[in-house]
Structure formats: structure tokens, C-alpha cells
Amino acid sequence: MKQNPISPTIPLNRDGVHHGFLKLPYSRDDSAWGSVMIPLTVIRNGEGPTALLTGANHGDEFEGPIALQELAATTKSEDITGRLIIVPGFNYPAFRAGTRTSPIDRGNMNRAFPGRPDGTVTEKIADYFQRTLLPMADLAVDFHSGGKTLDFVPFAAAHILEDKATQEACFAAMKAFNAPYSVELLEIDSAGMYDTAVEEMGKVLVTTELGGGGSSTARSNAIAKKGLRNVLIHAGILQGEMQLEETVSLTMPDDDCYLFSEGDGLFEIMADLGQPVARGDLLARIWPLDRTGQPPMEYRARRDGLLISRHFPGLIKSGDCVAVIGVSAA
Ligand SMILES: [Zn+2]
């Protein structure tokens, strides 16, 4: 296969703290010999496990970039054993634009794996992770939240996998992250996901959904920072005591957890995030935008559980995700 055009401006395998870039040549109208410069920090102290840490897989999800900027700016090599590879802006063009997908090629990083060395900008970044960075890693933490169009209760997640040894290691790392909610996910459409690329290599993956609405809060950022530190202690990379509090364990066993809109309109949520709901409970109503005197469309829970995600904007379109129910794993 072709060589990937990305080159790191710092060593990936030398002791010390190194701040630099993944440099991706990208010739364009405003910069003939220009490059996309993706910020990168590598911190290494001797032999030990490697953690690959990513934020802004989707460019409008901000807890990860904030927690990773702080980690990169404050960690000294003597604080760790092994190596941290920190990329706060995974889909960097999307992150700079504050959009879910890349403004260059509309690429969704979490649908671009395994990528292509001669593909679009997004596919080139995916290929560099697939063939260069992931093989170096023992575990990966990939931060998500709801972005501009969804909001979530703050959770860490791990996938139900065919490889039960990898699944158990992922569940243990999710528990170490210790978000207020912990979710076991059966991924319905896993093709192209970074998560799948990590898991198929037999590496440990923790992913999250820490909030949403296209911003972050003091609480969601604190959850990201605590979880990151806990996972790195769990992996034997950082010294210190894990900070553990109670977590609510949930599963998402099937399609009945998800409700999707079948029309456009004015969105009225009828329950708040974290609220227990029973099958048949009214979760949302969608009112017409263009007339009065008409009844709203009603969306009702198809299972008992907790409301863990909701559509965020005040208007909704046909096909948008209305709400998601998580089911108690206890
Ligand atoms: Zn995301």
C-alpha cells in the first residue's frame, strides 16, 4: 500500500515532552504548497504502555479537546511510565470550523476508517491512525459528546464485542473512567468507525458521550478530566489514586432504545435527561411550524429505562434522532 503523506514534526519514540504537529500536505487556492498542521503532543518516559488520546473526532464536541489540552500542557515526563500520544483535534479541519464533519471534504472521521493514504484529507488522517499510530498503542480514549444537535447524560461507553477478552478489558477501562453513567453498547452500524478499528486490533478502547449542544460545561469538563486521569492510572501510565464515585450502569440492547422523527416541526421535549421513563410515556411532541389548531405528533417510549439522549435544537426535521432510552444493566 502507498505511503501516507502525513509526517510528525516531533519524534514519536523519544523520552521527554514534545509538542509539534502531524503535518499533512494540502495544496489549495489560498496556499499552493500548504499543509494541514494537526497539533500533537508526545510524552514518553521509558518502557511501558502507550495511550493514544483523541478529542474532536467530531469537530463540535469540546470536552475532549479541553481535557487533552490541559493534559498536554501540564504533564511532565517524570509523571508517567510509558507514552502518551495526545491529539486534541483528531478531525482538525472540522474542529477549527466547529462542525461535526470536515469543511474540506465533508468527511465524518468516525465513518472514514480504515481510511486511504491517497484519499481525501479525512481519509488520509484515518489511514495514518490506522497504520501508524494505532499499532503503537495499547489503549485509546476517544472523547465524544452530542455536538450541536444532541445532548446526553454524561457517560463512558464500551462495546459488546465478539472478542470477549478485548470486551472485558474495554469494560474494565470504562469502569475506571467512572463517568456518572456507564453504557454497554451494541453498535448497530459499526462499519467505518474509529472504535471498530481500535477494537479489531485487539486494543482497549474507551469512548464517551459527555454532554452536547455544541459546547461544554464546568461539570462535563470535570468529568472528562477525572475520567482521563483515572484511565491512565488504571493503565499503569500515571501514578496516583483513582477517584471513584457511584456510576449508573446501562445497556442499549436494541433498536427500541431509539426514537426518530417522522416529520419537521417545533420540538417539545416532555422529559429531561436522566429521568426514569416507562414504556408508553410521552417523551416528545412535534408541533407544526406553519399553522395553528393542529394536534402535535407524539413520540412515546418503547421501553422502560432512563432518558439518556435527546434532540437539542428547538426545531426538528424528519429523520432526526428524537430521544434515546438506556436500560438498567443491573
Ligand atoms: Zn462524536
Q: What is the pLDDT of residues 5-60, one digit of tens each?
A: 999 999 999 999 999 999 999 999 999 999 999 999 999 999 999 999 999 999 99
At 328 the three-state DSSP class reads strand
Distance from C-alpha of 26 to C-alpha of 32, rounded to nearest angstrom: 8
Instruction: Assess whether pLDDT exceeds 90 at residue 189.
Output: no
Let me know the angle formed at the C-alpha of 215 by 303 and 208, rounded to the nearest 5 degrees.
50
Ligand 1 center from residue 53 Cα (angstroms): 14
Ligand 1 center from residue 148 Cα (angstroms): 10
Ligand 1 center from residue 280 Cα (angstroms): 29
Ligand 1 center from residue 62 Cα (angstroms): 10
Ligand 1 center from residue 143 Cα (angstroms): 7
Where residue 93 falls among pLDDT bands split at 50, 70, 90? very high
> Is the pLDDT higher at 117 or at 185?
117
**Which is nearest to 211 in space by CA: 174, 180, 239, 241?**
180
Ligand 1 center from residue 213 Cα (angstroms): 12
Residue the block writes with cell 470486551: 167
Ligand 1 center from residue 46 Cα (angstroms): 33
CB 40 within 8 A of CB 72: no
One-letter amino acid at 214 equals G
Please, where are the H alpha helices in 98-200? 121-128, 164-177, 194-200
Distances from the Cα of 157 to the Cα of 44, 228, 263, angstroms: 27, 13, 30
Ligand 1 center from residue 9 Cα (angstroms): 27
Where residue 187 falls among pLDDT bands split at 50, 70, 90? confident
**Which is nearest to 194 in space by CA: 150, 283, 134, 277?**
134
Ligand 1 center from residue 101 Cα (angstroms): 10
- Quote the pLDDT of residue 1: 84
Where residue 330 falls among pLDDT bands split at 50, 70, 90? low
Ligand 1 center from residue 102 Cα (angstroms): 13
Ligand 1 center from residue 146 Cα (angstroms): 6
At 67 the three-state DSSP class reads helix
- Quote the pLDDT of residue 190: 86
Ligand 1 center from residue 112 Cα (angstroms): 13
Ligand 1 center from residue 144 Cα (angstroms): 4
Q: What is the per-residue pLDDT across 260-292, written as a single tens digit (0 to 9) for each?
A: 999 999 999 999 999 999 999 999 999 999 999
Instruction: Assess whether pLDDT exceeds 90 at residue 205.
Output: yes
Average pLDDT over the chain, rounded to whole? 97
Task: Give the single-character DSSP code of 189.
Answer: S
Ligand 1 center from residue 150 Cα (angstroms): 10
Q: Which residues contact 251 (CB under 8 A, 6 or more apart)?
A: 183, 184, 185, 186, 326, 327, 328, 329
Task: Give the single-character DSSP code of 26.
Answer: -
CB 315 within 8 A of CB 286: no
> Which residues does residue 40 pair with via DSSP β-bridges, in sequence order?
20
CB 155 within 8 A of CB 212: no
Ligand 1 center from residue 292 Cα (angstroms): 37
Ligand 1 center from residue 16 Cα (angstroms): 31
**Which is nearest to 268 in space by CA: 222, 311, 232?**
311
Ligand 1 center from residue 262 Cα (angstroms): 23
